[in-house]
Amino acid sequence: MNESLHLWLIPLLPFAGFLLNGILGSRMPRRLVTAVGVLLPLASFALVLNAFALTSITAAKSCPSCGPVSAVLLPDVEALAHPWLDLGTLRVDFSFVLDQLSLVMLLVVTGVGFVIHVYSVGYMKGDPGYARYFSFLNLFLFFMTVLVLAGNILLMFVGWEGVGLASYLLIGFWFQKPSAAEAGKKAFIVNRIGDLGFLIGIFLLLGAFGTLSFFPMRVSLAMSPASHGGMLTVICLCLLIGATGKSAQLPLYIWLPDAMEGPTPVSALIHAATMVTAGVYMIARTHFLFDRSDFALATVAIVGAATAIFAATIGLVQNDIKRVLAYSTISQLGYMFLACGVAAYSAAIFHLVTHAFFKALLFLAAGSVIHALGGEQDLRKMGGLRTKLPVTFWTMTVGVLAIAGIFPFAGFFSKDAILCAAFLQGAGGKSLWFVGLVTALLTALYMFRLWYLAFLGEPRTPDAHPHESPLSMRAPLVILALLSICGGWIGIQRFSAYLGPATAANRAMPTATGQLELMLSVAAVCVALLGWLIADWFYRRQPNRPAKLAAALPAGYKLLANKYYVDEIYGAIIVKPLLVTSQYILGWVVDTGILGGIAWLLAGIASLTGMILQRWQSGNLRSYAAWLAAGAAAVLLFLLVPWAQVWPASFDFLWKVVRH
Amino acid sequence: MTFLHHDVPLAWYLLLSAALFSLGVIGFLVKRNLITVFLSIELMLNAVNLSFVAFAYQWHQVRGQIFVFFVMMVAAAEAAVGLAIIIAIFRVRSTLAVDRIDLMKL
């Protein structure tokens, strides 16, 4: 009855690409590298589309009257027959699970991933590490699809760590640049902190449920409807720590702005569209745990809302085009966490999808600008690019409208769904909604600021001669722009109905009346338009006003420009003490003092013994012979003594022998 | 038929063998000339051969005699190699005094 969807091929194809390009890439012609690097992800995408088609047919025809249909029912499980880990009572299968949630996520990952691969062909053209770049990008897709398809939390953790590795490799892709190498390390280390929380969460889950697979956990929770809070809260908070690390939320968001040192398509794929949303995906995947803990959900919501507004304010004053986008990514991820926190998982995933479209688009457009200007990333040196880069300009405009939440672009629908879900959650929800609304204003403000500074007005560096990007870069821009326009038209109702079996919250969800929903939507759009107006006023009509405002509020401006001094604070209270402890206590006292002392002592004993024993090694043949004879005599004596008790008695024995 | 007379007890042969062996050891330790040292080694080997043969006769076993053949063979080979080494050393160092051949020192 079930046709195989070949789920295992979805991660394996990019992995083959990684191996091919990683091992042979430097010896293959560039066209072949491109073909391997782009076509294998495309094949993966095709498999995902095939899975989507097959399962959708079932969904459409699974009425009682039309009988069984020869297609696949969700969730579809594929597992290796042999267990992955078989440790006494713990048995972990190497299993992939395809349900509505992982299918939507896979469509985004492989679809947007493929488009960005195509873009990379143009962007990375001529880079000496071309093959290395594509092999890493394919490696990322491999781990990301493993993360998404994983049927148990341990396999998910493997993918989770793997995407962290790929992220590290790609942030530090231009490792000759010290800042890029540093940024890679920073991302890796900050993520380790979150991963520790995730790991502890996994151990606690194992202790609580005795299994690591999602489905049995869900079943056993469903069998005990009363269990609530307690250990579940602790587990959820541990998982949340993991999610804040990967998804760049407070307090672990600091690595993401620095991650912009990587190539721009990497920022688009890993640090905007897919990997950083893994935390949101993980919460949605384990939502049956979060549903049982009000405290954990509230924490998720507060973390999300705080991150959203916090990052948005920083984004207002950044001058690096990619950093503006990075802070906007953090802020948008905050929205998704906010949605998870009010148990509106479908809304979170909906925003994840639309965000993947428009944020990938914004990054790729920014990459096109940077490409056109020969590596220039400073917004203050851009301007007037509208006529020079028409395709980039129009697609970027779509992206800006989408992220600002202007009707009818994609961001409007998903952001509206989140704000609406928050508004309906009582008094606390109303304040979350208000924070979200202010963030929407700030989002529109900083995005239109970027738009005005980069594309409108007069060129601020007249000697630059920008040129439009090649077709391989323009085509992805257009595709993503189309998706950003119409990606939201599915509508949250249909979307959450589709995701329902996988993510429907196990609790009563308030529903909005049509009138209230309309009012909330109008409020959101008005706020976005207000943000646009302010940006228009500041950056088009009175371009010297921002500087005046900064001069009028020097303390506030300095605080924002220095990103609230978070890096400095972390440096002072965590990094510095750690370094001092490592250098003086661990380095001098423990390493040099105790461990070194023991080593020196042992070496001293050995060399002293050697000095004494080397006197035997005189080189004198007769002395060797004498020791040999003495040794032989000693052995002889030793053999005779136990027999004859004392050695004069051995003469007795000899005498007996003689007398015989 | 027998070379070893029945009345001569085994112990006497062993005592002779021990005496010869001790002479060999003393010669090896005391003498300075490399060739004399070498002769002492041969003496020790033959002392051992004597005890082997005596035991073999006493217990009517042929193994001891086979051992003796092996020892003689090894001794012959050793004599050939050893003398070659001695000649080589003499060519290089113009001396056969054991105390001065101490290149094995660290």
Give the chain B residue whose CA is nearest to the CA of A622: B29
pLDDT given at position A61: 53
Query: Do A38 and A114 contact (CB within 8 A), yes or no?
Result: yes
CA A76 – CA A87 distance, rounded (Å)? 26
CA distance linking residue A350 with residue A415, whole number of Å: 9
User: CB within 8 A of A144, min separation 6: which ones?
Assistant: A109, A113, A159, A163, A166, A274, A275, A278
Helix A321-341 × helix A410-423 angle, to 10°: 40
Per-residue tokens: A397: 């405009």
Q: In whole angstroms, what separates CA A82 from the centre of its chain?
A: 29
* A127 token code pair: 């880079």
Higher pLDDT, B24 or A541: B24
A chain contacts of residue B58, beta-carbon cutoff 8 Å: none
Name chain B contacts of A617, Cβ cutoff 8 Å: 105-106
Nearest Cα of chain B lies from the Cα of A600 at a distance, in angstroms, of: 25
Domain ranges (residues) in chain B: 10-93
Asked if B11 lies within 8 A of A629 by C-beta distance, the reply is no
Run of H or E residues at A175: none
Helix, strand, or coil (residue A97): strand
Q: Which residues of A touch B105 (CB under 8 A)?
A: 617-620
Q: Give the bridge partners for A213, in sequence order.
A: A152
A-chain residues near B99 (CB < 8 A): 620-622
pLDDT of residue A636: 82
b/e sequence A209-229, b meaning 16+ C-beta within 10 Å = bebbbbeebbeebeeeeeeee
pLDDT score recorded for residue A650:
59
Burial class of residue B8, CB neighbours in 10 A (0-12, 13-18, 19+): exposed
Interface residues of B toward A, Cβ cutoff 8 Å, are 9-12, 14-15, 25, 28-29, 32, 37, 98-99, 101-106
The nearest alpha carbon in chain A to B104 belongs to A619
- Residue of chain B with shortest Cα separation from A620: B102
Contacts of A657 in chain B (CB under 8 A): 10-11, 14
Q: Scanning every residue of chain A, which has its alpha carbon at the shortest distance from the alpha carbon of B13?
A: A658
User: What dihedral do alpha carbons A179, A184, A186, A189 form, nearest 10°?
Assistant: -160
Pairing of strands A95-98, A90-92: unpaired
- Rounded to 5°, angle at Cα A331 from A11 and A161: 30
Which residues in chain A have their CB less than 8 angstroms from residue B11's CB?
657-660
Mind telling me how many Å the CA of B66 is from chain A's nearest CA?
24
**How many whole angstroms separate alpha carbon A520 and alpha carbon A425?**
14
- A610 to chain B, closest Cα gap in Å: 12
- Pick the residue of A613, A658, A660 with the most B CBs within 10 A to test the interface with B by mutation: A658
**B15 to chain A: closest CA residue:** A658
Q: What is the rounded distance in angstroms from the CA atom of residue A352 to the CA atom of residue A102? A: 13
Q: What pLDDT sits at residue A67?
A: 46
The alpha-carbon gap from B105 to the nearest alpha carbon of chain A, in Å, equals 4
Strand duo A95-98 + A76-79: pairing = antiparallel
**Residue-wise burial string across A146-173, b where 16 or more C-beta atoms lie within 10 A, e elsewhere:** bbbbbbbbbbbbbbbbbbbebbbbbbbb
Torsion-angle region of A88 (φ positive above 0: left; ψ -120 to 50: alpha; else: beta): left
| Cβ contact A618–B14 (<8 Å) | no
Q: Please tell me the distance from the alpha carbon of residue A92 to that of residue A567, in angstroms, as a whole number.
A: 40
Mapped onto helix, strand or coil, the DSSP state of residue A90 is strand
- Paired tokens of A57: 């047919």
Examine the pLDDT at B4 and tell me if it is beyond 70.
no
The per-residue pLDDT for A70 is 45
pLDDT at A4: 75
Provide the β-strand partners of residue A320. A378
Where does residue A89 rank: exposed (0-12), middle (13-18), buried (19+ CB within 10 A)? Answer: exposed
Residues of chain A with pLDDT under 50: 1, 64-70, 644
* Closest Cα in chain A to B11: A658
Class for domain B10-93, per CATH?
mainly alpha
Q: ipTM beyond 0.85?
A: no
Query: Nearest by CB to B102, which of A620, A625, A626?
Result: A620
Assess contact for A44 and A154: CB atoms under 8 A: no
CA distance B11 to chain A (A): 5
Q: What is the pLDDT of residues A273-326, one digit of tens each?
A: 899 999 999 999 999 999 888 899 999 999 999 999 999 999 988 889 999 999
- CA distance, residue B57 to nearest chain A CA (Å): 16
Q: What is chain B's Cα-based Rg?
A: 17
Q: Do B99 and A620 touch (CB under 8 A)?
A: yes
